[in-house]
Structure 1
Amino acid sequence: MELTVIVPTFNETPNVPELVRRAAQALHGVEAEILFVDDSTDRTPEVIEATAAGAPLPVRLLHRTAPTGGLGGAVICGIRASTAAHCIVMDGDLQHPPDMLPVLLSRLREGVADVVVASRYCGAGGSAGGLANGTRRAVSCGATLLARGLFPRRLRSCTDPMTGFFGFRRAAVHTDRLRPSGFKILLEILGRHRLDVAEVPFVFGQRLAGDSKAGWREGGRFLRQLAVLRFGRLAGFGLVGAIGTVLNLLIMGVLVGLGAHYLVAAVVAAEVTIVTNFLMQERMVFHRTRSAAGPLQRRFLRSFVFNNADAALRLPLLWGLVEVLGANSVAAQAATLAGAFVVRYLYHSRVVYREVRPAAAAARPAAPGPAVAPGGTSLQERAS
């Protein structure tokens, strides 16, 4: 097999038959397959199987019962399921024109580049006109500038790291390096590899049917992905800490403004943000290691006790800054929170979220078991 076209799908029932028809037409004479990695909750899997029965090229379905890693996780599953020399990733909504598949494959065949990117922003032939409105176009351009600013070397040859339409040599991409979260899998690949990149311009088309999956949640995932790629997990912990600090100071400021004593306000603000920070850390920072770090109750108890001890130790310091040095109480609270940041990170990464290995399991080798997807997600694969 020369080429696997990986199509991650989520509720794309109306688009599947037309995508297969146009892709098969574009790849006539190429030893290629289409691999749908599907996270749908509608009838998309049934439509894929029905379309595959009459398709002129092999069509496979990999349906994930638990969509770990979002679209990026789906792409990784597709890469691991492929045996082809080349892979091309494209969306299932036909905004990525299947007619471009031979163009991407031709550039890959030249052997000059590891990755060939279909870019909306390179050359005279590129366009992002298919984005829903001016706001979406502005957000896309801003995200691209931000990513290229943070990764000037890795992205120096890539004008559109936000695109979901690209091809690559399968041997050049090591999936064990990738930590997918959300839509921007190309950014993840380029950020964690040193790859030669070539580009071809393309026109981002209008959506044929269905709704866009972009939104505020994906925007938050993108910002977290950038921070982790650039600065590691410490950046994610810092982002959570910054959000918690703002919340802490807001609560304290409101309570002080209502007449509460600043020490009482500091205690109340600390208790609220200890809980909210733990919940954010579970979702945003340690989501990949939490399952191996013991039960939720133990993780919460360790975090809660430590943070309360930290808050208790900071209260005398807060009192000294305010009563002895005459500092503003909210500003002094901000200073004490910042000073404890590194200690909190080390404790959580090395104690709260340290992997727990049962003694019996550590003493003997694990028995072989069924293959699973990244993060332990079971897979159901049906080939047509």
Structure 2
Amino acid sequence: MIIPTFNEAGNVEELLTRLAAGLPAHLECEALFVDDSTDDTPAAIERAALTCPFPVNVIHREVPTGGLSGAVVEGMKAAASEWIVVMDADLQHPPSLMPELVETGRRAGADLVVASRYAGGGSHAGLSGRYRVAVSRTSTLATKALFRSALRGISDPMSGFFAIRRSTVHAHSDILKPLGYKILLELAIRCRPRVVAEVPFSFQERFAGESKSTVREGLRFLAHLVSLRTATPVARMVVFGLIGLTGFLPNLCGLAALTAMGLHYLPAEVVANQFGVLWNFLLIDLLLFRDRRGHRHWADRLGRFALLANADLVLRIPLIALLVDGVGMSVLPATALALLTTFVIRFIATELLVYLPRRGQAKDAAAPPARAEAEGREKEGTP
């Protein structure tokens, strides 16, 4: 059982008590808490583990990379059992259901079993207030619309309570990019389990502490959706183009403001174009290439992006002239073809020149497992 925790000291003892009470004698298990807490949650886990009938271990992370999803993935990498069950520590996921998730998976030959609030007999009664219910419903509908194929058979892709075969995770562990708190979405889309089953459950009231659902987590969720939806080059190109279209608004607003101040329209066009470039860079950097921002300093990325965006203008005019005067095309088709050509070139150049890691970084990125293993051995004092 992988249980991510962030300041859940008041829930740990009750959680382990309920897990022990609902555990069948034939089902061997281990609880692994992956903890990002700033309170005494690790100490509370250690105290509760003393009287627990099954092994309890803790991985405490000083740097909570990837948020809750990152914690779950780190726990999965340490797991050795056939089945991995993921659940929250706040008791909104009923611990007594854990054995049924595993047994359902075994009977159905499933790779993934989801505890669903929206399957027949399930309930989201534990969600506090109409706002959270509305957010949950809207997020679920939007996610299923975006990923119809990958989420077929999953009525509750926002669930944080599920069982998955370790082999399904480990076969795709190199492509997992966890972010935020919706780890099931990440696993379902990137790992593509062949057989999915569901078990209905009633979402409970939080036992102790406060909800970790914040506006910031909501924004991370949106960023995660964009990252998943743009995993292929074609999808990235489409979103790149859509973001580029939104850049016309700051461009035109800047042009109107500058000309109203008395600036000649030609230099105003050049300056206003930079407003659109900056707007496009911020959205592309935040949404489209979020996972590659660490390859270069932000100023380096912005400078390269701006250079490419302005070079687009310089390249487009001679290309239009060549198509009109050299090939004999009319102005409008020539302009459309030039726009399309320079757009594709700019997208490819942005990927290669702005967000592709440097050579040294690429080699480093290919070697982390061996390095991490060596560092772990060094810390443990083993050869």
Q: Which amino acid aligns with 1:290?
A: R
Match of 1:180 among 161, 178, 189: 178
Is the 1:16–1:92 Cα contact (8 Å) retained in structure 2? Answer: yes
Quote the offset at 1:17 in angstroms.
1.6
Distance 1:32 1:153 in 2: 33
Match of 1:304 among 285, 303, 306: 306
**What TM-score comes out, normalization by structure 2 length?**
0.79
Q: Secondary structure at 1:118's aligned position in 2?
A: strand
Give the aligned partner of residue 146 of structure 2: 150
Change (3 A) 1:262 1:25: farther
Give the aligned partner of residue 371 of structure 1: 373
Q: Which amino acid aligns with 2:176?
A: L
Quote the offset at 1:175 in angstroms.
1.8
Q: Which amino acid aligns with 2:163?
A: G
Q: Secondary structure at 1:73's aligned position in 2?
A: helix
Match of 1:285 among 283, 288, 300: 288
Give the aligned partner of residue 342 of structure 1: 344
Q: Secondary structure at 2:33's aligned position in 1?
A: strand
Give the aligned partner of residue 328 of structure 1: none
Percent identity over the alignment is 45
Quote the offset at 1:98 in angstroms.
0.8
> Which residues in structure 2 correspond to 1:176-215 (within 5 Å)?
176-192=174-190, 193-215=192-214
Q: Secondary structure at 1:61's aligned position in 2?
A: strand
Change (3 A) 1:214 1:236: farther
Quote the offset at 1:198 in angstroms.
0.7
Q: Which amino acid aligns with 1:19?
A: L
Match of 1:108 among 105, 119, 124: 105
Q: Which amino acid aligns with 1:186?
A: L
Distance 1:22 1:209 in 2: 15
Quote the offset at 1:352 in angstroms.
1.4
Give the aligned partner of residue 97 of structure 1: 94
Is the 2:24–2:99 Cα contact (8 Å) retained in structure 1? Answer: no
Quote the offset at 1:140 in angstroms.
1.2
> Which residues in structure 2 correspond to 1:11-30 (within 5 Å)?
11-29=7-25, 30=27
1:119-151 Cα distance to aligned partner (Å, 9 max, x none): 00111x211111121121122112212222222
Give the aligned partner of residue 356 of structure 1: 358
Q: Which amino acid aligns with 1:274?
A: V
Give the aligned partner of residue 29 of structure 2: 32
Quote the offset at 1:297 in angstroms.
4.2
Is the 2:85–2:163 Cα contact (8 Å) retained in structure 1? Answer: yes
Quote the offset at 1:33 in angstroms.
0.9
Q: Secondary structure at 1:288's aligned position in 2?
A: helix
Change (3 A) 1:340 1:106: same
Distance 2:152 2:39 in 1: 40
Q: Secondary structure at 2:371's aligned position in 1?
A: coil
Give the aligned partner of residue 217 of structure 1: 216
**What TM-score comes out, normalization by structure 1 length?**
0.79
Give the aligned partner of residue 128 of structure 2: 132
Quote the offset at 1:83 in angstroms.
0.2
Distance 1:346 1:153 in 2: 28
Is the 1:10–1:38 Cα contact (8 Å) retained in structure 2? Answer: yes
Is the 2:92–2:126 Cα contact (8 Å) retained in structure 1? Answer: yes
Distance 2:258 2:208 in 1: 50
Gaps of 5+ in 1: 318-335
Give the aligned partner of residue 6 of structure 1: 2
Distance 2:135 2:53 in 1: 39
Quote the offset at 1:308 in angstroms.
3.6
Distance 1:366 1:55 in 2: 36
Q: In the alignment, is residue 274 of structure 1 matched against residue 271 of structure 2?
A: no
Distance 2:126 2:340 in 1: 44
Change (3 A) 1:251 1:50: farther
Distance 1:144 1:342 in 2: 33
Distance 2:241 2:75 in 1: 33
Farther off after superposition, 298-307 or 169-178:
298-307
Match of 1:88 among 85, 95, 105: 85
Q: Which amino acid aligns with 2:100?
A: V
Quote the offset at 1:169 in angstroms.
1.1
Q: Which amino acid aligns with 2:10?
A: P
Quote the offset at 1:56 in angstroms.
2.1
Q: Secondary structure at 1:138's aligned position in 2?
A: helix
Q: Secondary structure at 1:179's aligned position in 2?
A: coil
Q: Secondary structure at 1:37's aligned position in 2?
A: strand
Higher relative contact order (CA 8 A, sep 6+): 1
